[in-house]
Structure 1
């Protein structure tokens, strides 16, 4: 029995690995559409629920038997509550064993224990991540268990002419009890995060998302390639000079905008929203894309493949991957230089004033200030 359980768990986990890869990009797109970033706790809970659901389905429905092995005349519906207690006694009588060790190792007891454990994670997540109460957890656990029993009794909605798993009222009791047990144990589940409310999940108004900056970067690189091919001599030094001019000198003169920034309507500002001086922009580019281009032209030919892979991984993780999960969407090059990208679609800040784009917009009070009595 245990070997069949582990085989089903392994099948469900491998299914999660495959399905998880397929839903990764849609999940990222959904989070960006709703929150302007990928909220890590929400993503962790969603992926955990996906893994749990696939493993649970594998345990419930696998292995699928051949159609010739069903409809053998067995009773596939049990409506007697706590029939498993009688089954445990029958197991002990058949094997001539007694005592607590014999009870907990009997097949009937192990099956009910698995039915309870199967729904414990559901109760943990519903309380710890979503803050649901015991009655809601019991209702959800009962409804899901009832749905499973209906599917089993109908032969997977007619896929099989007869059910191949027994629909048992004890399963309803055990699954619902497991969900309630998970609710009780939830405070001890330290690795399960609480899902934050939408207001705490969303990026502040005016935050420039990573995909938006990537498109702007691609526009800058396209301009750089056109200039280097059509105007400049084909020498690495001129290419780097053009990159510095486009990514450092131009933003310093235009209030933090590059060609891509003009196209995507964002600019580089200081972390507090004020004007970013040329030194900050230069540091930002040294640890960002321009520094990576300098590495590729000057340093990479002297290093091996592993050095290149390490630098590429560092840049991709620090500048693009990790910021996806941050509220401010800032990469490591921006945190080092004390800068951030600010949307110009919300506000057009002057050279000396703070930008409005990176912080939540404050509502103005409609109430008029009290005026002094002039009578």
Structure 2
């Protein structure tokens, strides 16, 4: 049980990490092609991410030490699981809790979400579910058979053709279960709502702010990680790696610089582009309004947070002010709009 819980926790963490990295393009695509971002669709895609990682964590973890690998066998006889079920039925105890039966149930259940998600998110039916289920199951089994593609001297888990069959059955069952979910009519070229004017609400602005926050810190983290790897593997400077100051400075500089460049050249932040909004002209000159847009947004927050104490506490003050003003103004203009009297309006890219 602890192994299953560990695999589940690893899948959730990996799904959350990848989801944060993909949040901005996902939001941008949703607003461009569907006219908005629904909580239901967001949760379904996050579930798909977690499920993708769960497939691998459940089938590959825990990874053994290379020195402690015990080579596993193979089963190439299709239907061997029927013998296990027969023994469980004829043997003592409850058949449903027998290891062989539980293994069959788990192999089917593991791929049920795949068929379900393929139909709900991808609008693909039973044939696609069966083919994708078989292909993914084969990829998993080959990964196990080859010892994670040569990372281990031999397979540490059993290659089983019954798993291919049961996983495929699970994907088909999931596709059939998804028939109970109401479907929106299919339309060509995206949702027509994406072409119509839409109100700018606090929720929409909050999503844009989340895009800016996750986006700028994704860049900072990614660049910082690359710098750390370079210091470790190329420069071979363990002292700089341990200090982390170089990675932090370069990562923050690149992230803040990227957000500054986008705002100064377009007048809108990355989050504004993602949710398709813009600020109207106000009392300030355009160049100054763009500077304010940057300083009062995620880029300014990241720059303030990187300052030494006590100056870094200004970042917290900016965050609190932003959240308060988000609630004050119906269009969520917050601090960038409050300075200079600018409103937030819809700016779709497909119209």
Are the structure 2 counterparts of residues 84 and 189 from structure 1 closer, same or farther at C-alpha, using a change threshold of 3 Å?
same
TM-score (norm 1): 0.53
The aligned residue for residue 118 of structure 2 is 126
The aligned residue for residue 53 of structure 1 is 52
1:170 and 2:162 are equivalent in the alignment: yes
Q: 2:133, 2:171 within 8 Å by CA — same for their partners in 1?
A: yes
The aligned residue for residue 141 of structure 1 is 133
Q: 1:142, 1:175 within 8 Å by CA — same for their partners in 2?
A: yes
Q: CA separation in 1, counterparts of 2:68 and 2:331?
A: 56
Are the structure 2 counterparts of residues 188 and 310 from structure 1 closer, same or farther at C-alpha, using a change threshold of 3 Å?
same
Q: CA deviation at 1:31?
A: 4.0
Q: CA deviation at 1:42?
A: 5.0
Which of 285, 298, 319 is 1:223 aligned to?
285
Q: CA separation in 2, counterparts of 1:141 and 1:51?
A: 17
Q: CA separation in 2, counterparts of 1:204 and 1:9?
A: 40
* Cα deviations by residue, 1:52-76 (Å, 9 ceiling, x for unpaired): 111222111111111112244x42x
Q: CA deviation at 1:207?
A: 7.4
Q: 1:120, 1:178 within 8 Å by CA — same for their partners in 2?
A: yes
Are the structure 2 counterparts of residues 320 and 57 from structure 1 closer, same or farther at C-alpha, using a change threshold of 3 Å?
farther
* Cα deviations by residue, 1:323-344 (Å, 9 ceiling, x for unpaired): xxxxxxxxxxxxxxxx99577x
1:117 and 2:109 are equivalent in the alignment: yes
* Cα deviations by residue, 1:190-241 (Å, 9 ceiling, x for unpaired): 7xx7596443166117879972576535x64753996xxxxxxxxxxxxxxx
Alignment of 1:169-188 (within 5 A): 169-188=161-180
* Cα deviations by residue, 1:93-150 (Å, 9 ceiling, x for unpaired): 8xx624xxx2111112112211111111111122233332222221111111111111
Report the more deviating stretch, 127-136 or 56-65. Answer: 127-136
The aligned residue for residue 83 of structure 1 is 80
Alignment of 1:279-298 (within 5 A): none
Q: CA separation in 2, counterparts of 1:316 and 1:110?
A: 56
Q: CA deviation at 1:27?
A: 2.2
SS of the equivalent of 2:122 reads coil
Are the structure 2 counterparts of residues 157 and 318 from structure 1 closer, same or farther at C-alpha, using a change threshold of 3 Å?
farther
1:204 and 2:201 are equivalent in the alignment: no
Q: CA separation in 2, counterparts of 1:166 and 1:83?
A: 13
Are the structure 2 counterparts of residues 204 and 224 from structure 1 closer, same or farther at C-alpha, using a change threshold of 3 Å?
closer
Structure number having the greater helix percentage: 2
SS of the equivalent of 1:164 reads coil
The alignment yields a C-alpha RMSD, in angstroms, of: 4.1
TM-score (norm 2): 0.56
Q: CA deviation at 1:44?
A: 4.1
Larger radius of gyration between Structure 1 and Structure 2? 1
Q: 2:278, 2:345 within 8 Å by CA — same for their partners in 1?
A: no
Q: 1:130, 1:195 within 8 Å by CA — same for their partners in 2?
A: no
Are the structure 2 counterparts of residues 222 and 114 from structure 1 closer, same or farther at C-alpha, using a change threshold of 3 Å?
farther
User: How many residues get paired?
Assistant: 243
SS of the equivalent of 2:285 reads helix
Q: 2:278, 2:344 within 8 Å by CA — same for their partners in 1?
A: no
The aligned residue for residue 18 of structure 2 is 19
Are the structure 2 counterparts of residues 320 and 82 from structure 1 closer, same or farther at C-alpha, using a change threshold of 3 Å?
farther
Q: CA separation in 2, counterparts of 1:15 and 1:317?
A: 36
Report the more deviating stretch, 200-209 or 13-22. Answer: 200-209
Runs of 5+ unmatched residues, structure 1: 227-258, 261-304, 322-338, 344-356, 361-375
SS of the equivalent of 2:191 reads helix
Q: CA deviation at 1:314?
A: 2.1
Q: CA separation in 2, counterparts of 1:316 and 1:143?
A: 51
Are the structure 2 counterparts of residues 30 and 316 from structure 1 closer, same or farther at C-alpha, using a change threshold of 3 Å?
farther
